[in-house]
Homo-oligomer: A and B are copies of this chain.
Amino acid sequence: MKNGDQVTIHDIARALNIDSSTVSRALNNSPRVSSKTKRKILDKANELGYQRNILASNLRTNKTNTIGVIVPRISRNFFSSVISGIEETAQKAGYNVIICQSFEDFERERQLVETLLSNRVDGILISISMQTDTYEHLRPYLKLGGSIVFYDRPCNFENCSSISVDDYKASFIATEHLIQNGCRNIVHFSGPQINDLYKNRKQGYIDALLKHGLEFKEAYCLESKLSENDGVHFAKKILEMGNVDGIYSSNDTAAIAAIQYLKSQGISIPKDIAVVGFNNDPISSVIEPALTTINQPDFEMGKMASTLLIDKIEKKTTEKELKVLDIELIVRNSSKFKS
């Protein structure tokens, strides 16, 4: 059926020889229309191909008790733990959770926000993609009364709350730990610098070097999306560079891939090169040598983000909060005393 001859409630009314206001009430599930009549009207509506396009009506007047979560990638342990925390809190508060993956792609993220809008979720929890450098795609949802809370990757937009960890401090501690264990030429695996999260991690690394009188060299910052392939690629680069004795990686995925490649090339970890990762993935405690890494309160972060969002949805608060959670360095064999 073409757009031009879309079926209206009046067509349904005519076909059934009843008043179109009755049809309207039935389609709006009004208690003033009997179930029997509703059924008749719905059947006719289906038969004629009546389309109810969901248009922009205010989100707050029509609750669905559903929360949408946008996540870069569910396969990362950090994110699946955050989501477990989100689900636990949401479930207790009577909300269902639907999850969408952006795969670190901005265009996909934009589409997902639209999907969640047309699904009329009551609120959105989002960890922005590595490509995202604008928040304008979120504005239509906010305008319709939706609530948004950022998690993991800190953002400052309108009155949206944000919950993240102290990435600067984490990086500072991780880098200082390598220096205190004798490293002098430390390479940093960094993420996209359009994200505050990766900017903060890089700055913590730089400041720790400077505090200890070491030179910061831009060539020692290897930027990527931190995949396994990136880790292997960087490990090869490090072997070419020759004098590297430490790696501080912005995630465990790339750190572990680098360790496995370096070991295959006869490099001893930590004797030749000490390594520190970020995330405390389960695999980090199982590889040989076990990986020193930053532990984030992932499950807690999910619970807190979910609580912030639900409080906003239920208007228990209108305040904007920018929460920063503390982290801890877990020292394992990949970075233990070189000298």
Contact = CB atoms under 8 A, between A and B. Distances in A.
Contacts of A25: 6, 8
A306 B32 CA distance: 42
A53 B66 contact: no
Contact of A3 (B8, B31, B96): B31
Contacts of A30: 3, 6, 8
Given A53-B29, A57-B42, A75 B64 contact: no
Contacts of A27: 53, 55
**So how many copies of this chain end up in the complex?**
2
Nearest to A116: B98
Contacts of A49: 58, 61
B66 A74 contact: no
A6 B64 CA distance: 17
Contacts of A324: none
Nearest to A66: B115
Interface residues of A, number: 61
Given A6-B25, A29-B53, A51-B57, 17 more contacts: A8-B21, A10-B24, A27-B55, A42-B56, A42-B57, A50-B57, A51-B61, A54-B54, A66-B115, A75-B81, A91-B108, A96-B100, A96-B115, A98-B99, A282-B283, A283-B283, A286-B286
24 contacts: A6-B28, A20-B20, A20-B21, A28-B51, A28-B52, A29-B53, A42-B57, A46-B57, A46-B61, A50-B57, A52-B57, A53-B62, A54-B54, A66-B119, A75-B80, A80-B80, A87-B101, A98-B99, A99-B100, A282-B283, A283-B283, A283-B286, A286-B287, A288-B288
Interface of A: 3-4, 6, 8-10, 20-21, 24-25, 27-32, 42, 45-46, 49-58, 61-62, 64, 66, 68, 74-75, 77, 80-81, 83-84, 87, 91, 96-101, 103, 108, 111-112, 115, 118-119, 282-283, 286-288
